[in-house]
Structure formats: structure tokens, C-alpha cells
Chains A and B, each alone.
Chain A
């Protein structure tokens, strides 16, 4: 556990007897009461996640002239102030260096939210693509982040933080005061439920955590539940489902790539589109309660066709679900597959995403 970074809530997690484990260079809570109970709480009430490990960068300057416009697969200057957008930072061969969200704070100011493990490299790559790298500042250390997710999250936050939040639409955010400090509250999340991400000074994180946990509608949830929640929605996990070897085209994430603008990796994507991808992402549902897992083999009529990148037991569907990459000929909806690892074998079928459609996400 040495050399791992700790969030401002370390002592709180230990007080709650959380199971802690390394994640992306950080010591993070995997579960408190239990993964399934926390998952259910998020789908039914409001779950609170410590997400302080994620990285935040701030850029202040001209977006077009400063070079930021060409860094990501989407247009930054096309994001209206007060809105955020999901997309990718690619390498020259079209592989995903990271998936991230850009928040348009002002005409000439954005916040970039990236994954924990990739943050140091992201910062280097983004800086290297700017005309004036000094305009990009890593604000991760001074920024705390708590996510409140679940159908009751709106009423809880309105009650504790004020009425401005009530009307906030999906993927919009407001700059507001939380516990007397400047904060950003965003209607985003990665669970499939109505939810909010709250960015505030890291010194205020513990106070907000304690305030929200006093509410009986709120319970803490760890990264274990978060992984099940995002998988039920079919959201990709960086390092599992997408990485530097995988393009957004293969990952079925073309909706977050704007080929009408310039960005590094675009030429590779155009070539790949021309040729057709060698592997494509699929979602599949297992016929039993068995869990497919990362690195399990995928076979079609006895022939290996690919590999599982994410898999788990779905508490909402009561069966195994997973995502993986297969040869394009095995990717059609309804295709029957076998998922295999050592002695474990399960039958599955290619299905559409999301697996779970009953969430309150757009409520």
C-alpha cells in the first residue's frame, strides 16, 4: 500500500470499515456494507462516491488560437458555456490515451476531468499540443470531487445546497457556493441514474461528505458498486474496454468523435473507417447467473473470436453481462457465443446496450 495517494476522506473510509484497495495509484474504498447493497441503494435512493482520485486540469486562454481546439475528438469551442462534453484524447494511431469530460467554464476557460491512472500522462500530452503549455494547470491536488447518484439525489442536494440545482438539465453545470466555497455542481455521472458531480476545494470535501451522509436517504458506495452500475449501462472503463490499442471506432463510440474537425489520430481513424475495424466491441448477456470476467475468451461455435474486457453479475437483470471485442463477423445482434476460462464455461448472446434501461438518468 506504500506509495499510494490518499483522498481527503481516507480516515472517513476507515471509520466506515471500508475495504480499501489500490486503484490508479490511489488507495480507494471498494466497498463499505457490500457491493450489491450499495448498487441497489444507488438505483433506489442516493449513493455518495468519493471520486477525489480523478484528475482535473484548468485551461485559460484562447481556445482556437491556443491549440486546445485540436486536442480532443470533439469541438471544445462548440461547447456552450455551462455545458460539458464527453470524448477522447487520441494518439497518432487513433488509440485512446484517455476518455474525459470537458467543462466549458467561460469563453476562454475550461476544466478537463480525466481518469486517475492516466492523469499525469494526459497532462503531458495535452500540454505538448498547446502553443503555450503554461496556460494549462493541473488543479487535481486542490480539487475535491464527490458524486451523488440516484433517483433521490436531486431532492437531497436541493435541500442541502440550495434550489438552483433543481432545474439543472443533463450534462449542464452551475458554478455556485457550497459550504461557503466556490464549487461546480454538474448534472453528470457514470451510473445511469439521475445524479450530480460536485467539484469543490479539497479542504471542504470532508465537510460535504459528512453533511450528505447525515441524510438518511444517502449511503456511501465504493468503486465495486460503481463498476457494476457503469457496466449495466454499457459505459466503457478506461484500461479495460478502451486503451491506447483501441480506437473509438472499434469501441463503438463514434458518437463522441467529430470527423469534421482536426485532431491527432483523425487520419488513422479515417483509414480504419475505410478498411473496417479488425475487432469490434460487443455487449452480451449470459444465459445463467455466471459472471464473465476481464480476459475470459470468447468463442463462436468452438472457434476463438475475441476476449471479454468487462463482465459481472448484473443485480438488476439477475444474469451475467459483459462487453468485449470480437471479429466483426461475430458481432451481429443475436449471435450465440461461448465465454470460457479454464473450467468455467457459459453460453451467451450478443445484445444491445444499455443492458439496464430502468434508470432515472434523464429524469
Chain B
């Protein structure tokens, strides 16, 4: 399944009925050394584009927004002790959480990889 991106630099990828969520490689690079990830609470329900989690680097603190609506069913708890995993692989081992109860039609409001790459060029 392909990844979709928000203009705020989150990504989402459907894995069966669940959505895996993270921040983009571009965002991780811009943030620099990541020192803390505020993981969402399991069971938390979010609407698309609401605040889902927080992330801090040496340079700045930022919010992470939900690319799609859903309920948090799993978090990447490796990030508690090793937030640098986001720098090492923001779109792979540095994923943030999994959402359930996702309405796949919301993906239409997001950018596919090619459109996101083009969007970054224009920034």
C-alpha cells in the first residue's frame, strides 16, 4: 500500500484496516536531532488534521497532526528511549502509531508521494 502525505509533513499508510502514521523524512531532516516524541495515548480518538502527538528536536517543539481520523491502537514505544529512530528512518522504523476505524475516503484529501515531492519543491 502506498504512503499519503499531509502538507504538515505527516505520512499515513494503510495496513489492512489499520493506518500507520509518522512524520516525513523531510520533516525529520528539517527538525534536526530529535530528542523526544510525545506518543499519543492508546484509545485516544482523533479527527483528521487534529493534534495527535508532539515531537521535539534540539531546535524546536512541533505538533504532529492526524493525517486521517481514527482511534490509536498501538504506539511505537521504542521511541520513548530512542527518539533518534525518527531521524534514522522517519518513514520506516520511526513510525509513531497505528490507528483503527479509519475511513479510507479521507486519503483523498492528502498528497500521494509524487504530489508531496512536488509540494516540497515549491516550499
* Residue ranges of A at the interface with B (Cβ–Cβ < 8 Å): 31, 34-36, 224, 228, 288-291, 293, 312-313, 320, 341, 343-344
Contact = CB atoms under 8 A, between A and B. Distances in A.
B33 A291 contact: no
List 7 tightest A-B contacts by C-beta distance, closest first. A313-B35, A289-B36, A36-B33, A35-B58, A291-B56, A290-B36, A35-B33
B63 interface: yes
Contact of A224 (B36, B51, B58): B58
A290 B58 CA distance: 10
Contacts, number: 40
A228 to B, nearest CB: 7
Interface of B: 32-33, 35-36, 38, 51, 54, 56, 58-59, 61, 63, 83
Given A31-B32, A289-B83, A290-B36, A313 B56 contact: yes
B51 A313 contact: no
Contact of B32 (A34, A289, A291): A34
B99 to A, nearest CB: 20
Nearest to B36: A289
Interface centre among A36, A293, A320 (most CB of B within 10 A): A36
Contacts of B61: 291, 293, 341, 344
Given A224-B59, A291-B35, 15 more contacts: A31-B32, A34-B32, A35-B32, A35-B58, A289-B36, A289-B56, A289-B83, A291-B58, A293-B61, A313-B35, A313-B36, A313-B58, A341-B61, A343-B63, A344-B61
Contacts of B33: 34-36
B122 to A, nearest CB: 21
A149 B63 CA distance: 36
Interface centre among B33, B38, B56 (most CB of A within 10 A): B33
B56 A343 contact: no
A290 B32 contact: no
Contacts of B58: 35-36, 224, 228, 291, 312-313
B17 to A, nearest CB: 30
Contacts of A224: 32, 58-59
Contacts of B83: 289
A290 B63 contact: no
Given A313-B58, A344-B54, A291 B63 contact: no
Interface centre among A228, A291, A344 (most CB of B within 10 A): A291
Nearest to A291: B56
Contacts of A289: 35-36, 56, 83
21 contacts: A34-B33, A35-B33, A35-B58, A36-B33, A36-B35, A36-B58, A289-B36, A289-B56, A289-B83, A290-B36, A290-B38, A291-B36, A291-B58, A293-B61, A312-B58, A313-B35, A313-B56, A341-B61, A343-B51, A344-B54, A344-B61
A289 B32 CA distance: 16
A322 to B, nearest CB: 13
A343 B54 contact: yes
A320 B36 CA distance: 10
B121 to A, nearest CB: 20
B63 to A, nearest CB: 7
A267 to B, nearest CB: 42
A319 to B, nearest CB: 10
A172 B94 CA distance: 48
A180 B28 CA distance: 45
B53 to A, nearest CB: 11
A357 B59 CA distance: 24
A334 B11 CA distance: 42
B73 to A, nearest CB: 23
Interface centre among B36, B38, B51, B83 (most CB of A within 10 A): B36
A164 B63 CA distance: 53
